[in-house]
Amino acid sequence: MVKRLFRHETPRGSVETSLDAERGRVLVEESREIVVVLDAEGRVVIASRRARELFDGLTEGELPPEAVLRDSLPVTYSVGGVDETLIYVRDPGDLAAYEELRAGFTASVSHELRTPLARLLALLETATLPDADRDDLIEQAQDEVRQIGELIDDVLFLSELESGRELVALGSTVALPILEEVVQGLGESAARAGLTLRAEGDPDAELSLRPRMIRVIAGNLAENAIRYAGPGSTFTLRVGPGELIASDDGVGVAEDDLPRLFERFYRADRARASRGTGLGLAIVKHIANSAGGTVEAQGEIGSGLTIRIAFTGP
């Protein structure tokens, strides 16, 4: 079948088989992927149009250029006694974009780590002075160490999500009890910030996430409000069938900042002095997207912030 599909070796008089072969050739040639099929000797049987455009010297019956094999995913198969290999080639443009993103992320992490490390060093140096209040300085130093730990935890967790090792969606979970647990756990932090936390909604509503992932999303949304909503405001986690809405009536976010809220390490001007890691909302978006959901933010200065996460189904 595969031999006929790509080599047009069809039984004489078999119109149907010939049609199958032609259809298979068109499917490969017009594929949007960079695809090359090799025979048992490693010679080109057929290649997609994109592959031919990207690689000079990609000729049927000849060995492919070395670049085709350098960064590719080979899939070997045998049908009807014929061995062939399907090569998926990674787009060089995608690879370059990934390397640029990785380099930018590494630089951002390094920058974010330097700030608490510099403060920690300054505190330790101050503690060596004769009249230093060592107890107070040690307490501040401990806060810096906790800040570094939180950042490292967030970076590792985001890495887990992106590498696929963390299973995000597994069936459906009744969400309200988890939201209530998160609100209760953050009660003291919210009280110190002058913020009221609430969890409400349909007690039977389910979200297409594992319990741990709901807990992470709810916690990051609530902690974001604790840091930025402002004293005297109220933050509410509301769950309904297939959706989670986090809203506050605090200081709000400038319209220009809304599209960038979910970027790693992005902080609006008023939030640059925050002790957050800058990864909380990025993690929220990544979890939601990985489970097939969407995330959107609405708000403006003086009118609070609303973040809606919607799932299409379990």
% of the chain at pLDDT higher than 70: 72
Q: How confident is the model at residue 155 (pLDDT cuts 50, 70, 90)?
A: low
% of the chain at pLDDT higher than 90: 23
Per residue in 222-254, pLDDT (tens digit) is 999 998 899 999 999 999 999 999 999 999 888
pLDDT exceeds 70 at position 184: yes
Range in 12-21, 46-55, 161-170, 269-278 the model is least confident about: 269-278
Q: Tell me, which fold does domain 2-90 have in CATH?
A: Beta-Lactamase (3.30.450)
d(CA 245, CA 205): 13
Determine the pLDDT at residue 92.
56
The residue type found at 127 is: A
Six token digits for residue 73: 């995913």
d(CA 127, CA 117): 15
Determine the pLDDT at residue 12.
47
Contact 33, 48 (CB under 8 A): yes
Per residue in 188-227, pLDDT (tens digit) is 999 999 999 999 999 999 998 888 788 889 998 999 999 8
d(CA 204, CA 176): 8
Determine the pLDDT at residue 13.
47
Determine the pLDDT at residue 102.
55
**Long-range contacts, stretch 268-276, CB < 8 angstroms, 24+ apart:** 270/228, 271/227, 271/228, 274/227, 274/228, 275/143, 275/147, 275/227, 276/223, 276/224, 276/227
Rounded-to-10 torsion of CA 147, 268, 236, 192 = 50
Mean pLDDT value of segment 72-81: 78
Six token digits for residue 178: 């988890």
Boundaries of every domain in the chain = 2-90, 93-163, 173-311
Which of the two residues, 9 and 241, has the higher pLDDT score? 241
Per DSSP, the residues of 11-44 read -TT-HHHHHHHHHHHHHHHT-SS-EEEEETTS-E
Return the closest-CA partner of residue 216 out of 123, 130, 150, 280: 280
Return the closest-CA partner of residue 93 out of 54, 36, 58: 54
Q: Which residues contact 8 (CB under 8 A, 6 or more apart)?
A: 18, 21, 22, 25
Q: How confident is the model at residue 141 (pLDDT cuts 50, 70, 90)?
A: confident
Q: Does domain 173-311 sit in CATH 3.40.50.300?
A: no
Determine the pLDDT at residue 314.
47
Mean pLDDT value of segment 60-89: 81
Per residue in 93-132, pLDDT (tens digit) is 555 544 554 555 555 566 567 777 888 888 888 988 988 8
Q: Which residues contact 95 (CB under 8 A, 6 or more apart)?
A: 71
Return the closest-CA partner of residue 199 out of 226, 224, 178: 178
Cβ–Cβ contacts within 10 Å for residue 38, how many? 22
The hierarchical CATH code for the domain 93-163 is 1.10.287.130
72-79: strand order across its sheet? 44-47, 35-39, 82-89, 72-79
Mean pLDDT value of segment 276-291: 77
Six token digits for residue 122: 């300054």
Contact 305, 250 (CB under 8 A): yes
Mean pLDDT value of segment 274-288: 73
pLDDT exceeds 80 at position 27: no
Return the closest-CA partner of residue 45 out of 8, 92, 1: 8
Cβ–Cβ contacts within 10 Å for residue 85, how many? 17
DSSP designation for 260? G
Determine the pLDDT at residue 66.
82
Angle between helices 134-163 and 92-127 (to 10 degrees): 170
